[in-house]
Structure 1
Amino acid sequence: MPNSHDLKGLIKFLSRDEWRDCFEDVLDDHFGPVLDASNMDFDDLAEMLGDHWAMTLWGCAFEDFLTQDFEVEGGNIVDEYLKRRGWKEGAQAKAYMKALRTSVMSLYEVSDIVPGKSLMARDLIRGGDPVLVSEGTATKTLQQWGRVAARIVPVAGKNIIGGGLLPFTPEASDALFDGLRAIFGKGPSKKLPVPTNEELQQASPIFTLAWLFDSLGRTMRMEQTTFENGDGDAIVFHDVRFPLTSGVTQKEITAQLKTVPALRQENARFWNWLGDIPKGRLKAGKSGNLAWDTTMEDGTRVLGNVELKGRTLHLSTNSAARAEKGTALMQGALNDLVGRPLTEIRTVEQMMAERPVRDKDTAGPELPPEIATKVVHEFLDKQYRETLDQPVGMLGNISPREAIKTAKGREKAAEWLKYLENRSSSQPDPNDPMATYDFRWIWAELGIENLRR
């Protein structure tokens, strides 16, 4: 006997000719615009996003298919299946199928997550109070104030989530609302009215497409992204090693390096090689890729580091151009005090792969977890208390205390706090001090606890 959420019999029934063609049309509604624009087929999605997400996407289309009526015998596959094969299913399985038959995909904000047990879900499209949802698997990965597209259906006195659950980023959420406003918006403002369940059922493919375009876009950007420094040079780490000439001492090297204006000595054997102070904040390389640069407290760029290690002087920098320039700088300052340099080159990927694993036998002492947590939380308390009086981009570049003076500002402040909580709770380790930080004092400080729902 199938379990209460088992749709295998219904899926097998899908192989009948009259339903197969109808389902192909639904699949095209959900994936056609993306696949056509990218010149891909569905199997390519599995390769790019992974089998799990490919099956979840298929599930979203299938659940949408279950709600539709077609001009074939039986009209709806759930009705026809239960009529012909319902005797094979248990009472709860039939109840689940009937619930999916009338279900609606919507976007929910999740909170009060109890891993392995339940969550609260607030409908961001149709409004209303949050509802308690019984959910085992998803609650182990969802984060406070995260957003998901899903079908919440009542079965045996409980609200449960269907199989097609998609986590939405803020960008995907914006794309979804843009799509819904284009369909349902009225007047010049295109304000989104509350759609009826029937209208929202018809818009089901918009959810899949918004998620797909966002996810594929992020995947492709990551594949195409290259790291650059502030000069626009590709990041390739260079360790240029100058052997000290026989008889030359570290003291002699230090004396010569003190004459180089571009070097700032940090200790007896370490110098920062400094560049200029850039105009404005470096956000990206010249071609728009991710910028990777270090600056001093006054904003001066650090082009590299110079360090004496035994009988070798090391110049470390992050591009071929800087390595060449730094090598010329060292040779000009030291002349015959050093020999011919040798250079070791490593890419970003190699550096990440080579990150050392902490050896419990040789590593230095760690702070006890409770002390580390206390230190981090005290730092965050101070940081966020200062932020309450500083401009925040998400609030229109006004401070949170200024924002709460208006009803619209209080709503924005609540969204801002939910964003902070969601980012904080997204740490891989649930015991990380960032993940355990309690933001409730900020809600109370701003007097908007009633919006934390």
Structure 2
Amino acid sequence: MPTGHDLTGLMKFLGRDEWRGCFEEVFDDHFGPALDACGMEFDDLSETLGHDWAMTLWGCAFEDFLTQDFEGQASNIVDDYVKRRGWKETAQSKAYMMALRTSIMSLYEVSNVAPGQSLMARDLIRGGEPITVSEGTATKTLKQWDRIAARIVPVMGKNVLAGGLLPFTPQATETLFDGLRGTFGKRNARKLPALKDEELQAVASMFTLSWLFDTLDRAMGRPLLQNSDGDDIVFHDVRFPLASGVAQRDIAARLNSIPGMVQENAKFWNWMEEVPQGSDKPKTAEATTLDTLMDSGWRVIGNAELKDRLLHLSANSAARAKNGTDLIRQALGDLVRTPLTEIRTVEQMMAERPGKHTQTPSSSIPPEIAEETIHEFLDRHYLDTLDQPVAMLGNKTPRQAAKTPAGRQKAADWLKYLENQTAKQPDPTHPMATYSFEWMWKELGLRDLRQ
């Protein structure tokens, strides 16, 4: 039996001669520029992004098509269908179709998610207070402060989400906003222009294209993880075989002579680098920075470890691995032989889950102790971050940004981004997922913007 939001009959009606050509025009508006730029056909999206995303994208174009009027005796497909075939549909189905007929695609910020029940949605383009949306499926995966491009339509006294829902990254958001500023205002303006509903309705394809360009870019390999030097994260394990007759104590003595090598125990060293104030390259909005900064103000840029007859140098980028290799060769000379290097990407590291190895040591640290330790580390890390330049804040520190009205909103958006990324941990009980950013909102005086 069809559901209250079933559009099967309307989709079949799309095959009629008078509507097929009109839909092709709308379809090309939504996908043509992105597909042409990537040398792809629409069918290729199923292989690149997955069948479900390809169907969601098709749905975005279809829902936009339902809102449009064309020349001819029947100017809109919903009006035509309801007139000819409406008697076949339930009252709820017809109400849903008519709501889509006048619907508007916009960008919303999600909050107060009740899985399987509802969410609050704040329109980031048209403004206004957040509204309650009844939703059973998407709320099972959406997280606090997610941004979604969607159509929210009133049906039988409730606000519901239409099927064409696209999650927006900060990069896709900026692409969309830049396009809106260029179309309706000044491209270099800080604020979005005030848009009428009919103006926003006319540029629905801009949402699809912004999402598609961003997603295809990432799917085709754009790096998302960097270290503080701005290098793409690629893990290097450089293994130096010890020369015949060389003892580990001989290696230790030479390693201790390398500037920045700090010995932790008999077989392990942290390779440290002093961090002068303001020396970090600004973090980019599209990349997450991975690095460890000690309380002393020194950054860990690698490790050295003696294992059996090998000296292992670990670093998270090609540049750091090369620099460390040169330092070790210079200090150790003929005590080590020509090294071999193993390189692993982030994806490969993530694929190495417990169970794939014959020996997996179990942790003896109680979960509550591990959580406390990680939370203390994150406290120190983010306290330091408050005084570091952030690209999302115009290369200002969070404390500097929070001193101006415009900066306060940017700082609030930055905090929401941090909370949102943390909430997306696969394991909701992981210490990263349970970390609270409440103190940062209070520290920056932004608690009034946490809504």
Per the normalisation by structure 2, the TM-score is: 0.80
Q: Tell me how large the CA RMSD over aligned residues is.
A: 4.3
Q: Which residue of 1 aligns with 2:2?
A: 2
8 Å CA contact 1:153, 1:160 repeated in 2: yes
1:110-259 aligned within 5 A: 110-185=110-185, 189=189, 192-222=192-222, 237-242=237-242, 244-245=244-245, 253=250, 257=254
SS of residue matched to 1:208: helix
* Structure (1 or 2) with the larger CA radius of gyration: 1
Alpha-carbon distance, 1:447 to partner: 4.8
Q: Which residue of 1 aligns with 2:265?
A: 267
SS of residue matched to 1:222: coil
Q: Which residue of 2 aligns with 1:314?
A: 311
SS of residue matched to 1:58: helix
1:405-424 aligned within 5 A: 405-424=403-422
8 Å CA contact 1:185, 1:191 repeated in 2: no
Q: Distance in 1 between matches of 2:73 and 2:13?
A: 14
Q: Which residue of 2 aligns with 1:451?
A: 449
1:320-399 aligned within 5 A: 332-334=333-335, 345-349=341-345, 353-354=351-352, 356-357=354-355, 362-369=361-368, 371-381=369-379, 394-396=392-394
Report % sequence identity: 55
8 Å CA contact 1:269, 1:307 repeated in 2: yes
Q: Distance in 1 between matches of 2:402 and 2:270?
A: 45
Q: Distance in 1 between matches of 2:343 and 2:31?
A: 37
8 Å CA contact 2:181, 2:188 repeated in 1: no
Q: From the superposition, tell whether residues 353 and 322 of structure 1 become closer, same or farther in structure 2 (CA, over 3 Å).
A: farther
Q: Distance in 1 between matches of 2:378 and 2:354?
A: 28
Amino acid in structure 2 at the alignment position of 1:408: A
Q: Which is further off, 376-385 or 123-132?
A: 376-385
Query: Could you list the per-position Cα deviations for residues 302-343 of structure 1 after superposition, in whole angstroms to 9, with x for gaps in the alignment?
Result: 67635152xx24344567967985886587443xxx8xx586
Amino acid in structure 2 at the alignment position of 1:346: E
1:29-178 aligned within 5 A: 29-178=29-178
Q: Distance in 2 between matches of 1:273 and 1:14?
A: 64
Alpha-carbon distance, 1:177 to partner: 1.3
Q: Distance in 2 between matches of 1:434 and 1:66?
A: 43
Q: Which is further off, 144-153 or 431-440?
A: 431-440
Q: Distance in 2 between matches of 1:166 and 1:223?
A: 21
Alpha-carbon distance, 1:5 to partner: 0.9
Q: Distance in 2 between matches of 1:125 and 1:395?
A: 20
Structure 2 gap segments, 5+ residues each: none
Q: Distance in 2 between matches of 1:232 and 1:151?
A: 37
Query: Could you list the per-position Cα deviations for residues 104-130 of structure 1 after superposition, in whole angstroms to 9, with x for gaps in the alignment?
Result: 101111111111111001111111111
Q: Distance in 1 between matches of 2:289 and 2:123?
A: 38
Q: Which is further off, 425-434 or 106-115?
A: 425-434
SS of residue matched to 1:199: helix
Query: Could you list the per-position Cα deviations for residues 70-116 of structure 1 after superposition, in whole angstroms to 9, with x for gaps in the alignment?
Result: 22442211111111211221111111111101101011111111111
8 Å CA contact 2:354, 2:360 repeated in 1: no
Q: From the superposition, tell whether residues 196 and 378 of structure 1 become closer, same or farther in structure 2 (CA, over 3 Å).
A: same
Q: Distance in 2 between matches of 1:270 and 1:232?
A: 25
Q: From the superposition, tell whether residues 346 and 226 of structure 1 become closer, same or farther in structure 2 (CA, over 3 Å).
A: farther
Q: Which residue of 2 aligns with 1:24?
A: 24
Q: Distance in 2 between matches of 1:202 and 1:400?
A: 37
SS of residue matched to 1:143: coil
Q: From the superposition, tell whether residues 276 and 101 of structure 1 become closer, same or farther in structure 2 (CA, over 3 Å).
A: closer
Q: From the superposition, tell whether residues 72 and 434 of structure 1 become closer, same or farther in structure 2 (CA, over 3 Å).
A: same
Amino acid in structure 2 at the alignment position of 1:105: M
Q: From the superposition, tell whether residues 348 and 388 of structure 1 become closer, same or farther in structure 2 (CA, over 3 Å).
A: closer
Q: Distance in 2 between matches of 1:97 and 1:173?
A: 28
SS of residue matched to 2:430: coil
Alpha-carbon distance, 1:59 to partner: 0.3
Q: Distance in 1 between matches of 2:374 and 2:426?
A: 17
8 Å CA contact 1:133, 1:159 repeated in 2: yes
Q: Distance in 2 between matches of 1:256 and 1:449?
A: 53
8 Å CA contact 1:29, 1:205 repeated in 2: yes
8 Å CA contact 2:303, 2:314 repeated in 1: yes
Q: Which is further off, 442-451 or 69-78?
A: 442-451
8 Å CA contact 1:240, 1:323 repeated in 2: no
Amino acid in structure 2 at the alignment position of 1:368: P
Q: From the superposition, tell whether residues 295 and 180 of structure 1 become closer, same or farther in structure 2 (CA, over 3 Å).
A: closer
Amino acid in structure 1 at the alignment position of 2:311: H
Alpha-carbon distance, 1:29 to partner: 0.7
Amino acid in structure 2 at the alignment position of 1:11: M
Q: Distance in 1 between matches of 2:381 and 2:273?
A: 30
Q: Distance in 2 between matches of 1:187 and 1:294?
A: 38
The number of residues matched between the two structures is: 438
Amino acid in structure 1 at the alignment position of 2:237: F
Q: Distance in 2 between matches of 1:301 and 1:239?
A: 19
8 Å CA contact 1:271, 1:307 repeated in 2: no
Query: Could you list the per-position Cα deviations for residues 394-430 of structure 1 after superposition, in whole angstroms to 9, with x for gaps in the alignment?
Result: 4456565665554334333332332232222222222
8 Å CA contact 1:153, 1:159 repeated in 2: yes
Per the normalisation by structure 1, the TM-score is: 0.80
Alpha-carbon distance, 1:356 to partner: 4.5
SS of residue matched to 2:151: strand
